[in-house]
């Protein structure tokens, strides 16, 4: 679809109203609109049609109320119409969707970065060192249509679940084929440009979302390394009480004592530790200052990137490979041990014969298919895509629990503005935590985003917004997630993607309100001059009096701009086949030789970032899978 001249005129009128000139920045222009169109077009024709529909709706509103096209209205009237949308409980989300590509088109620009004294790209030159493991990475396009490949174990997915299983099985001398729907990106491919990398490495360009009484985006990786390649690297073990409750409720051997040896192995592979004070930067100092003033517990987060230099682009592929995501840790080890990795390989069906998994059917990008025959099948597609794949085929759901029990750790954040230069963009984005309220299910962690994503996160627009963005170097982000009592469900959706529903309960809304008020107290105790929150009606807080109003306000799920990064629980482990999907070995109760090893096994909420727990469970699962293969060998020899 190609925008018409009228579409471009309307978009330019919206852009110049939302993004006017300020002391530090020029106004948006036609180049802004062109780049915004390119951003949306990368998500496909449907996304572009929907986005242009929003601009046409705003234009229709202008014609209905003023009898003049939006593009012909004076600036003040344009801003007033946009503010009407911003004030509505529902229309404010439409306005944000309309403005987001324009903000990206404006701020993801080398000229804007230069005007604010920022470096546009932080990626260093790539290493010339030849990495021989790459010879074992091929595109699925190289496999002839109709071909049948054979192996001991086929592993579908390369993230926190699939990576450890691939490494451990390959190092045992087993024939392992790993399948990844996304592409492989080398260090030299990580440009540090958020919009480009999101379009390349995120599912649906980052627009995967749960729908219910509010919309909650759930960013998911689609690349070698899965979501570990695009996460912040936080590597926390969960509280012992959380694992104990899980074990008691479902008869799963998942206590901290049982998993401790596997956590240790994972932490050794990842090199888990704290980042340096230099990498943590000024944001950590200010959070510590505020927490000390309030008497709250706080600490540096342990991460799988102790050698991080604080470039601030963890969520877009680490350009220095300091972050030990599975694409640079587990998978290279698996490939060096003899595993074979096929990229751009979409698994469409698990092959089952007489109640036993025998392999998978794989679709190439051109639609042609081939088959991988295996003695065991390991699904590690994540909490959203694993259940969607199995439910579409009607497998592994005699319990009725597959796709249910979804928890996501709903999260939100706020940006604080200080009188001093903070340079939060040049520090570990998620390097520091306040755990004073962890027992309440509130975990506060860093949340600084690059310039263009900060612009999208802020709900404001117009002169005040541009003034705030002009002072980007004097601000940073911090946020929190909640241990949700709410649950959701995953079903098969269109085009092979999951359809995710999730209703935020009143108790979790209250927890979000408390968390945002506590965050306000923390910021002002640290010396912030104002706070920009993601709560409707409280977008800009300038004093503790504003925080106090927020703390007692009547809010709903739609009052918050939320996101979530930890989908869990849709194929949980348990001893009872009537209430769980897999046994403690990770083998499905219903289908022999079919293993699920990813976040779907984890009963949430876990209260902390889950990647090392998924990896610890995967490391143990590999032992069970290896023993199963040994038994199959023994039966074949008998």
Q: What positions carry a catalytic annotation?
A: 566
- Distance from C-alpha of 497 to C-alpha of 204, rounded to nearest angstrom: 9
**CA torsion angle 21 22 25 26 (round to 10):** 20
Distance CA 579, CA 605 (A): 17
Strand, helix or coil at 340? Answer: strand
Question: Which residues on adjacent β-strands are paired with residue 331?
Answer: none
DSSP string, 133-176: GGGGEEEGGGSPTT-EEEEEEEEE--STTHHHHHHHHHHTT--E
- The rounded distance, in Å, linking the Cα atoms of 567 and 366 is 30
- Cβ distance 634 to 627 under 8 Å? no
Three-state secondary structure of 370-389: EEEEEEEEEECCHHHHHHHH
Q: How far apart are the first and last CA of the chain?
A: 63
Q: Under a CB-based contact definition with an 8 Å cutoff, are residues 102 and 14 in contact?
A: yes
- Residues whose CB is less than 8 angstroms from the CB of residue 559 and which lie 6 or more positions away in sequence, other chains included: 89, 509, 535, 536, 537
> Distances in Å between the alpha carbon of 320 and those of 122, 230, 235, 282?
10, 14, 19, 21
Token pair listed for 55: 């601009």
Distances 504 to 347, 387, 539, 582 between C-alpha atoms, Å: 32, 21, 21, 27
């Amino acid at each position: 679809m190609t925008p018409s001249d009228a579409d471009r005129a309307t978009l330019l009128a919206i852009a110049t109203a939302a993004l006017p000139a300020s002391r530090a920045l020029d106004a948006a222009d036609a180049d802004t609109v062109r780049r915004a169109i390119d951003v949306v077009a990368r998500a496909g024709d449907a996304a572009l049609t929907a986005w242009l529909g929003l601009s046409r709706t705003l234009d229709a509103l202008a014609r209905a109320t003023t009898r003049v096209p939006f593009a012909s209205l004076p600036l003040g009237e344009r801003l007033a119409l946009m503010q009407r949308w911003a004030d509505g409980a529902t229309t404010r989300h439409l306005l944000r969707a309309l403005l987001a590509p324009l903000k990206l088109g404006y701020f993801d620009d080398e000229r804007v970065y230069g005007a604010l004294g920022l470096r546009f790209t932080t990626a260093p030159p790539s290493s010339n060192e030849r990495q021989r493991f790459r010879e074992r990475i091929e595109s699925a396009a190289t496999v002839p249509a109709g071909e049948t490949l054979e192996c001991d174990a086929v592993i579908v997915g390369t993230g926190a679940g699939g990576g450890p299983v691939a490494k451990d099985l390959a190092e045992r001398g087993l024939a392992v084929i790993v399948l990844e729907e996304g592409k492989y990106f080398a260090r030299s491919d990580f440009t540090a440009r958020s919009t480009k990398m999101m379009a390349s490495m995120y599912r649906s360009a980052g627009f995967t979302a749960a729908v219910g009484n509010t919309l909650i985006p759930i960013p998911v990786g689609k690349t070698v390394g899965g979501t570990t390649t695009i996460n912040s690297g936080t590597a926390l073990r969960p509280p012992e009480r959380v694992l104990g409750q899980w074990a008691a409720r479902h008869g799963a051997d998942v206590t901290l004592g049982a998993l401790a040896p596997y956590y240790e192995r994972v932490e050794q592979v990842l090199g888990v530790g704290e980042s340096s004070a230099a990498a943590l930067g000024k944001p950590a100092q200010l959070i510590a200052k505020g927490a000390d003033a309030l008497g709250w517990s706080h600490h540096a987060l342990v991460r799988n990137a102790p050698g991080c230099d604080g470039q601030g682009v963890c969520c877009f592929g680490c350009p220095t490979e300091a972050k030990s995501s599975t694409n640079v840790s587990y998978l290279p080890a698996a490939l060096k041990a003899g595993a074979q990795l096929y990229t751009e390989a979409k698994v469409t069906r698990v092959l089952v014969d007489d109640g036993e998994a025998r392999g998978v059917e794989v679709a190439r990008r051109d639609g042609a298919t081939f088959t991988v025959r295996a003695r065991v099948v390991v699904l590690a597609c994540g909490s959203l895509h694993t259940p969607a794949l199995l439910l579409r085929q009607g497998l592994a759901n005699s319990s009725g629990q597959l796709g249910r029990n979804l928890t996501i750790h709903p999260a939100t954040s706020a940006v604080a503005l200080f009188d001093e230069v903070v340079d939060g963009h040049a520090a570990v984005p998620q390097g520091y935590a306040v755990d004073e309220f962890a027992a309440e299910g509130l975990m506060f962690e860093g949340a600084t985003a690059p310039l263009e994503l900060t612009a999208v996160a802020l709900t404001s627009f117009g002169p005040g917004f541009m003034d705030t963005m002009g002072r980007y170097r004097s601000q940073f982000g911090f946020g929190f997630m909640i241990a949700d009592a709410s649950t959701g469900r995953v079903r098969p959706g269109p085009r092979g993607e999951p359809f995710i529903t999730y209703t935020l309960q009143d108790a979790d809304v209250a927890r979000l309100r408390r968390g945002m008020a506590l965050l306000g107290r923390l910021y002002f105790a640290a010396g912030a001059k104002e706070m920009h929150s993601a709560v409707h009606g409280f977008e800009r807080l300038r004093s503790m009096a504003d925080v106090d109003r927020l703390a007692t306000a009547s809010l709903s799920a739609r009052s918050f701009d939320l996101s979530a990064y930890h989908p869990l629980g849709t194929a949980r482990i348990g001893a009872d086949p009537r209430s769980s999907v897999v046994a403690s070995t990770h083998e499905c109760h219903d289908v022999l030789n079919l293993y699920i090893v990813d976040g779907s096994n984890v009963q949430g909420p876990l209260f902390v970032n889950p990647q090392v727990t998924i990896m610890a469970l995967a490391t143990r699962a590999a032992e069970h899978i290896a023993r199963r293969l040994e038994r199959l060998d023994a039966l074949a020899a008998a």
